[in-house]
Amino acid sequence: MKIRFLSRASDELAEAVHYYNEQRPGLGNELLSELDSTLATMEAFPSAWPVIRNDVRRALLARFPYGVLYRANESEITVAAFMDLRSDPKDIDTV
């Protein structure tokens, strides 16, 4: 199954990686590694996480306070946002 990141999600991910690498060199790479693990699980079980609004699901990272907001169909997972869970929950309205 193909995984596609919308530009918003890519930008949010790049910002998070940059932030964590500034906190400690290599920590952003650890975030990417955890995201890779989450994406692999999403590929295997795209319906595993709950629907939070309409057809948008949220997968949570275990170690970092982020959620992957996505839509899935038979052929593709579209990542709409890489959301800092400490942010305002009203931001989900823009996904």
User: 42 versus 92: which is more confidently predicted?
Assistant: 42
Per-residue exposure over 38-53, b if at least 16 CB sit within 10 Å of its own CB, e if not:
bbeebeeebeebeeee
The phi, psi pair for 53, rounded to 5°, reads -165, 130
What pLDDT does 94 receive? 57
What pLDDT does 63 receive? 94
Q: How confident is the model at residue 90 (pLDDT cuts 50, 70, 90)?
A: low
pLDDT digits (tens, 9 = 90+) for 33-76: 999 999 999 999 999 999 998 899 999 999 999 999 999 999 99
β-pairing, 51-53 vs 56-60, is antiparallel
Average pLDDT, whole number, for the chain?
A: 92
Q: How confident is the model at residue 1 (pLDDT cuts 50, 70, 90)?
A: confident
Report whether 79 contacts 68 (CB < 8 A). Answer: yes
Q: What is the pTM of this model?
A: 0.88
